[in-house]
Structure 1
Amino acid sequence: MELPERVALIEVGPRDGLQNEKNFIPAKNKIEFISLLKDAGFQEMELTSFVSPKWVPQMKDAGEVIGNCLDDSRNFVLAPNKKGIEMAVESGVKHIAVFVGVSNSFNKKNINKSTEESMNELRPQIEELKRKGYFVRACISTSFYCPFEGKVDEYEVLKVCQEFEEMGVDELSVADTIGMANPKECYELFTLLKHHLRATTLITAHFHDTRGMALANIFASMQAGIDRFDTSAGGLGGCPFAPGASGNVASEDVVYMLTQMGISTGIHLDKLLEAAAYISPLLSKPVASKQFKLHQNIEQK
């Protein structure tokens, strides 16, 4: 059994975790949440996104959040289209995330374009960003299952990944958007990607824990050679355009599992739990991660 000695965790709670939250979280609280997460040791994080406040009102304060949270670590801002990318560049960030759904139905529900149309629109934008020295992360949604089309062909995922590689992206975040993947499917897809993609391309796995499979899927992905994972403090998350998608895999549960296995993450679990405890009272539903609930029970005794 070959497993990595160290795993990089990319904290997505402030963006992916909060984007579908019903209670509006004020910018000052988002900024403090991000500060606590950075203090816990995260060197890579999704801070916010430049999207239409009509469709994702939780992200309407993106400019204020970015203005208070940039530092020398890898701070991602999600930008879904040309306008979003322009706003991200103007904000001063150096790490920009774009996204596309492998499934046409999901992509059309999300940004009203087919997958091919999105890729054609993104190509000149990404190539220009790379000419200017930006780090570009491509988030690839519905890489396993689509809420509208069902099972997604793994070679369609590979095709999208290879197109992004040709554009020059630095990282591919491959997502189980609705949390339907199983460990066998994860091992097979990531083995395929590792075999066909360049060794210099960063491959990150992004799991939702809709059916309680995320930790098992992470384990299977590590066996396939993946050592980067998106996680969300408190298991926050859910896509507004993906019916049935629950929260992301909880950062604290992943940190605990990896630590117990002797795999280094550089994340301090106690400080991570403090960050989850800070944001918890502001949310519309309780934090449900195993480690957080265990920590709360111990604190109350």
Structure 2
Amino acid sequence: MSALPMVVPEPGLPERVTIYEVGPRDGLQNEKAVVPTEVKAEFVRRLLAAGLPIVEATSFVHPRWVPQLADAADLMTGLTADLGDAARQLPVLVPNQRGLDRAVELGLRHVAVFASATETFASKNLNRTLDSQFEMFAPTIAAAREAGMDVRGYLSMCFGDPWEGAVPVDQVVAAGRRLLDLGVGQLSLGDTIGVATAGHVRALVRAFADAGVPPDRLALHFHDTYGQALTNVHAGLQSGVTTYDASAGGLGGCPYAKSATGNLATEDLVWFLTGLGIEHGVDLGAVVATSTWMAGELGRPSPSAVVRALATGDD
């Protein structure tokens, strides 16, 4: 049995949090060695068995852009054959109408689009201007909504940009509002290069609230580049945000940040929430075992502090 922290609740924090697991998509997308489709499928199955309520499975992106996810259709077809309707509930990223069409063909019900809060990253990642990216997303979001699908919006570079530096809060709010106005149900604010600090997090969530976007429409996506991810989660909790993106084992990272340590590890987040007495429904031992197994598949240890502390080598 895995050790668990002593539970000491903190007044004023949410009673329950939703962990939005992004390991199979965001965690694996930058891996140089191709991960076999069956290993990805097993990763998803194990994460679901560990109690994670949402597991983002893959992205229907062109193979030239992200070769690691070229097997998206095969992965989702196999998961559907194995898990049935549960697989159709797994979110997938769709960069454009073609990606959405593939998701619709497979009967999937939850999709996400990925936008930028800055001009430079919109140009480098999407080959669009900050303004024209929304013109690209509009028909895709509308078509998804018409198909009865739930649409999530990722907004990257919300706290800092490697080319532009600090990103004004009002610029992030304006970009986020445009995605919400197009019809996304939830907006995930990404600290893409891991430079956010607690006061910045509180200021951004407060600015969205002042613009008519309550915390329950937001999710927070932190990277631990400077060791601030859990501190930033705490600031988010104090601000009323109850959905947090995380990646099992801390897989993934930002190719634009030197020494980036990757996404906030699911295990680190679970340990932190458990200690605060916040409900999350996730079996910590099962996630640690899953990340230990995946680390073996990838041939390197997990960067998660909690995995390192608790892993026994069993899978």
| 1:213 aligned residue | 228
Structure 2 counterpart SS, 1:174 = strand
**1:23-49 superposed Cα distances (whole Å, 9 cap, x missing partner):** 211000000010000000011111000
Structure 2 counterpart SS, 1:127 = helix
1:72 paired to 2:86 = yes
1:119 alignment partner, one of 116, 126, 134: 134
1:86 alignment partner, one of 94, 98, 101: 101
2:143 alignment partner, one of 128, 152, 171: 128
8 Å contact kept, 1:23–1:282: no
| TM-score normalised per structure 1 | 0.94
| 1:13 aligned residue | 23
In structure 1, what is the Cα distance between the partners aligned to 2:115 and 2:216? 17
Q: 1:285 to 1:116 in 2, by over 3 A?
A: farther
**1:255-279 superposed Cα distances (whole Å, 9 cap, x missing partner):** 0011011111000001111110121
**1:133-167 superposed Cα distances (whole Å, 9 cap, x missing partner):** 11000000001101111111111111111111211
1:294 paired to 2:309 = yes
Within 5 Å, give how 1:237-276 maps onto structure 2. Answer: 237-240=252-255, 242-244=256-258, 245-276=260-291
| 1:49 aligned residue | 59
1:149 alignment partner, one of 153, 164, 171: 164
**1:60-107 superposed Cα distances (whole Å, 9 cap, x missing partner):** 110111113343374111111222222222222110100111111111
Structure 1 residue 299 displacement after superposition: 5.7
Structure 1 counterpart SS, 2:56 = strand
1:159 alignment partner, one of 174, 178, 185: 174
In structure 1, what is the Cα distance between the partners aligned to 2:124 and 2:13? 37
1:58 alignment partner, one of 48, 53, 68: 68
In structure 2, what is the Cα distance between the partners aligned to 1:137 and 1:221? 19
In structure 2, what is the Cα distance between the partners aligned to 1:273 and 1:129? 35
8 Å contact kept, 1:180–1:211: yes
- Give the gaps of 5 or more residues in structure 2: 1-10
In structure 2, what is the Cα distance between the partners aligned to 1:272 and 1:83? 33
Q: Which amino acid in structure 2 is aligned with residue 140 of structure 1?
A: L
Q: 1:82 to 1:277 in 2, by over 3 A?
A: same
Structure 1 counterpart SS, 2:91 = strand
Moved segments of 4+, more than 6 Å: none
**1:233-290 superposed Cα distances (whole Å, 9 cap, x missing partner):** 00001244x3434410000010001101111100000111111012111225421111
Q: Which amino acid in structure 2 is aligned with residue 40 of structure 1?
A: A
Structure 1 residue 201 displacement after superposition: 5.9
In structure 2, what is the Cα distance between the partners aligned to 1:8 and 1:85? 25
Structure 1 residue 222 displacement after superposition: 0.7
Structure 1 residue 195 displacement after superposition: 3.3
Q: 1:141 to 1:284 in 2, by over 3 A?
A: farther
1:185 paired to 2:200 = yes
- Give the gaps of 5 or more residues in structure 1: none
Identity value in percent: 38
| 2:296 aligned residue | 281
